[in-house]
């Protein structure tokens, strides 16, 4: 059934409110699917629609922890995959090999050494905790060294 202008107006007005889509469906006499499709076509967003989480902060922490416990393996797997993907991307940007000895066999044995003084933090920490964009930006201040050359560089004269 075609949407009338008035219906569209009402959808625009109510879509981002806290009413559930089911309530909205009853109100507009449409299926949830039809509402979602129409909203997508109009470019509407639900914004910060309420998620199924407790309002109380302490309880929320508990539910987040519970989510982590229930999905630990999946979360860690995703994190490791992301870490590897960004690190390899950065390694490729920096030439793909140790800039001192040319080592390039294993990505895990390649490390980032800050070549400038405006260091914003340890690269491993930045890759893990900051956005990909931030990591790539910080990576431009680094040279690539293999783990051995990196240790040697930091222990010169000892």
| Chain residues that interact with Zn ion, rule: CB under 5 A | 98, 100-101, 103, 146, 149
**Which residue number, 3 or 103, has a Cβ lying nearer to Zn ion?**
103
Taking the complex as a whole, how short is the minimal distance between the CB of residue 109 and Zn ion, in angstroms?
A: 9
Interatomic CA distance for residues 54 and 62, integer angstroms: 9
- Residue 65 or 105: the one with the smaller Cβ distance to Zn ion is 105
Instruction: Please report, for residues 53, 84, 142, 143, the alpha-carbon distance to residue 98 in angstroms, rounded to integers and kept in the order given.
Output: 48, 17, 12, 8
**Which CB atom, from 100 or from 134, has the smaller least distance to Zn ion?**
100
Would you put residue 4 in left (φ > 0), alpha (ψ -120 to 50) or beta?
A: beta
CB of 92 to Zn ion, least distance (A): 17
Q: Are 102 and 146 in contact (CB under 8 A)?
A: no
Residue 58: in which H helix or E strand, if any?
helix 57-93
153 vs 79: CA distance, rounded Å:
30
C-beta of 139: minimal distance to Zn ion in Å? 18
Q: How far is the CB of 81 from Zn ion (least distance, A)?
A: 26
- Pick between residue 40 and residue 101 the one whose CB is nearest to Zn ion: 101
| Closer by beta carbon to Zn ion, 34 or else 99 | 99
**Residue 104 Cβ, how far from Zn ion at the closest point, in Å?**
9
Please give the Cα distance from 87 to 50 (Å, whole number).
35
Bridge partners of residue 111, in order along the sequence: 145
């Amino acid at each position: 059934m075609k949407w009338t202008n008035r219906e569209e107006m009402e959808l625009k007005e109510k879509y981002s409110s806290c009413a559930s889509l089911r309530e909205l469906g009853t109100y507009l006499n449409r299926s949830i699917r039809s509402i979602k499709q129409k909203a997508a076509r109009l470019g509407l967003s639900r914004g910060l629609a309420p998620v199924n989480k407790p309002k109380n902060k302490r309880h929320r922490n508990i539910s987040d922890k519970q989510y982590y416990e229930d999905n630990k393996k999946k979360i860690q797997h995703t994190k490791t995959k992301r870490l590897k993907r960004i690190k390899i991307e950065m390694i490729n940007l920096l030439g793909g090999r140790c800039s001192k000895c040319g080592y390039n066999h294993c990505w895990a044995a390649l490390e980032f050494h800050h070549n400038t003084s405006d260091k914003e933090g340890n690269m491993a920490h930045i890759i893990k905790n900051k956005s990909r964009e931030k990591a790539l930006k910080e990576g431009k201040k680094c040279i690539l060294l293999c783990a051995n050359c990196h240790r040697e560089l930091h222990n010169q004269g000892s």
